[in-house]
Structure 1
């Protein structure tokens, strides 16, 4: 079962990266009507939430700058960004590095119980599975936003 979690994570992340690397830079910071954020924000959000779920960011992980919580946590938005914001290319590099670290997590740790249930998840493996679900959901948002932005340009 744990092998399936890692396989799913790699499949999802690979699809995300393929989509991101094919993006036209001009669409990344456009917030289309009906959407709360930009593609840029979604990418940083995916990275930040996966780091939280899989590595305990910001308390247990220093692989991302602490400011990512202010930029990309749930409830944040680009309209409130102030100061340095990582570029899409920087975030893509961090997503690649992160999936390498995820693949190094010992399979046995997925059966470990969480200190307390979180979002209905009771084990680290369930939380990892939820992270995959979360990433897939945001990938769908990115794909939808790209289509809406491109259609508006026609």
Structure 2
């Protein structure tokens, strides 16, 4: 699992670079033909990790209900995000992963509600969820690379 956590930390470093490289206006821009923006994708990967790992394990998540609703699958940006929310997401990118690592090492994940992901991946354990999360984050990085061409 150390490799999976290393991949996740690297992914989050990449997302942080995006947050620091684009203006608030650029993060909020929804280019024509798209239904979301850069900041939505970053918020989405953070929320999705919590749903996949903690939700799947039946444990409380470390993000607010407001953020869960705003960035979960099927949502889309309804209003522009403020700088305060960008800062909150930036902090959560790492605090959620650090807690996940600690919880994993401390044996907090004792059960997992097996299911098939929307993409057809079997998620039978928290290890599956953590590994699948890395794949999911890569998908959204690809989407962001397309978005940036139009910003």
TM score, norm. by length of structure 1: 0.79
Is 1:102 the counterpart of 2:100? The answer is yes
Which residue pairs with 1:134 in the alignment?
136
The Cα shift of 1:113 comes to: 6.5
Kept after mapping to 2: 8 A contact 1:17/1:92: yes
Unpaired stretches in structure 2, ≥5 consecutive residues: none
Per-residue CA deviations over 1:8-44 (Å, capped at 9, x if unaligned) read 1112112221222222222111100121111121121
The Cα shift of 1:128 comes to: 0.6
Aligned residues: 145
Q: 1:6 to 1:130 in 2, by over 3 A?
A: same
Which residue pairs with 1:28 in the alignment?
27
Could you say what the CA RMSD is over the residues aligned between the two structures, in angstroms?
2.8
User: 1:137-152 maps to which residues of 2 (within 5 A)?
Assistant: 137-149=139-151
TM score, norm. by length of structure 2: 0.80
Kept after mapping to 1: 8 A contact 2:55/2:61: no
Partner Cα distance (1:60, 1:98) in 2: 13
The Cα shift of 1:107 comes to: 4.7
Per-residue CA deviations over 1:89-131 (Å, capped at 9, x if unaligned) read 221111121121122133586x976332332222211111111
Partner Cα distance (2:74, 2:28) in 1: 17
Per-residue CA deviations over 1:34-61 (Å, capped at 9, x if unaligned) read 211111211211111111112228x632
